[in-house]
A and B are shown apart, each in its own frame.
Chain A
Amino acid sequence: MTKSFQMGYRKISLLLCFFFFVIGCTKKKCEEVIDQVYVYPIEAAFGKPFDEQIKMFKIPEQTLHCLSTDALIKSCLDHPKMSLIWTNSDLQGGFDKVYAMCNGFEELFGRGDKFQKLFYLYKQLDFNRDWQTYTDLENGMYIDNIIRHELIIAQYEILNDLTASEKIELFQLALDNQKKKYEFAHQIWGTIGMATTCAILARIMYLDKYQPLVEEYNNNELMLLNVAYILDDFDTINKIMSLSEDYLKNLKNK
């Protein structure tokens, strides 16, 4: 009797310890959601050693968790080192480099509404603007911003969590946008400017094990370069667009 009482007491104590441990690990709730884009201390970091700048550009933990997903996405897009996506040999490598510098991405990929908010922002981007009324630099900054959005969406942390309807919606929009890019490929986008849209399309097909894409991936090194590294040549872009049309039809008929 005494022995069983002692064992029960131990079990209750252990349960209580576990309970308090879990409570202790729970993130503190934000008293107020921050809906403003995080302001990085760019002036203060001016001329500081590179490593120190990276530390200064980390978003403080409490702020990070309290940023609305919308503000968080914009804070990632605006990270002072985001332009370094262009300094690797491939855009996936460039993204990985910036991911390591910007703690906003890890927070973003853990958010339940990450895709909905990203997709909403992506839908707002105008691929039909009158390019001729802007300078090369203005157009360049504009397409750089689009590429940043697409590069984030193309990450497996986003694509893996898509519902069936989200997948169709994203695929359709990405394909439409790719066609618009294609019209101005030589004047505006170049091959690399189309690589991120193609990566969204190719990676969705790859994740879905779409056989024609998988066969290309296994037999064509250039297709592999797009899916794995987000690098393209013109033939691969054409191939992805052609496969995407058929895949979308299948997807809608499912």
Chain B
Amino acid sequence: MKPNDYIFRNLVFIPFLMLTAITANSQGTIQTPMGQTISVLNNWDTAPLIAAWEAAAAAEIRRNQWTTPNKLAPATSHYNCHSYAWNVVEAGGSLNKWMNQTVDGNPNLSKYWTNDAYISTSNTGNHEKIFYSSGDHSAITTATTGIVQSKWGYWGLYEHAIAECIFNSSVMST
């Protein structure tokens, strides 16, 4: 899976990030650390939807007999994998921003690493961002090698082994 992924390291000082990176703007947009506009959506959940998503996720984990996925936050349509990895996880990032990789074929997410605060790197450390280029997915690394945190679409936020997840590279290739 690694060859298809881009791993990004934040090059910007934390204080600068705190000030500018995750400033929520008016509904519909947020900004990258360097001020580029990212389109986002605001959604609201209902208890039935959350219950169905939680049940489906648990069934999928059980069916695969995965042992590492550990739910960190419940299912929600408030934020997705991209929003979590690039926005929510940074201190102060809004929890209600759903972020799409592209909008009508135009770059949206990739603005974060195009003339902005992130560059590609081959050194993976803790708290770095992973973009699955063939799978419309983002994650962040943890202190444990091979373990990442990612939000599974509308399902919950999980810490899991890279291989024990619905976004593995073989799925991407289908």
Residues of A bordering B, CB below 8 Å: 42, 45-47, 50-51, 53-54, 80, 83-84, 86-90, 93-94, 97, 100-101, 131, 135-137, 139-144, 186-193, 221-222, 224-225, 228-229, 231-233
Q: How far is the CA of A42 from the CA of B95 in the complex (A)?
A: 36
10 A-B residue pairings within 8 Å (CB atoms): A46-B65, A83-B60, A86-B155, A87-B166, A88-B136, A131-B48, A141-B52, A192-B43, A231-B98, A232-B41
Residues of B within 8 A of A141 (CB): 52, 55
Q: How far is the CA of A87 from the CA of B80 in the complex (A)?
A: 9
Q: How far is the CA of A136 from the CA of B48 in the complex (A)?
A: 4
Q: How far is the CA of A233 from the CA of B100 in the complex (A)?
A: 13
For the complex with contacts A137-B48, A232-B41, A233-B28, 17 further pairs of A-B residues with Cβ separation under 8 Å are A51-B171, A87-B154, A87-B155, A87-B167, A89-B80, A97-B171, A131-B48, A137-B52, A140-B48, A140-B49, A141-B55, A143-B48, A186-B46, A190-B77, A191-B43, A221-B104, A225-B100
CB < 8 Å: which of B49, B55, B103 contacts A221?
B103
Residues of B within 8 A of A46 (CB): 63, 65
Closest to A51 in B: B170
B144 interfacial contact with A, CB 8 Å: no
- B contact residues, total (Cβ < 8 Å): 44
In chain B, positions 22-80 with a C-beta closer than 8 Å to chain A are: 27-28, 39, 41-53, 55-56, 59-60, 63-65, 77, 80
CB < 8 Å: which of B98, B101, B154, B167 contacts A86?
B154
CB atoms of B44 and A89 under 8 A apart: no
Q: How far is the CA of A46 from the CA of B62 in the complex (A)?
A: 8
Q: How far is the CA of A221 from the CA of B56 in the complex (A)?
A: 31
CB atoms of A83 and B48 under 8 A apart: no
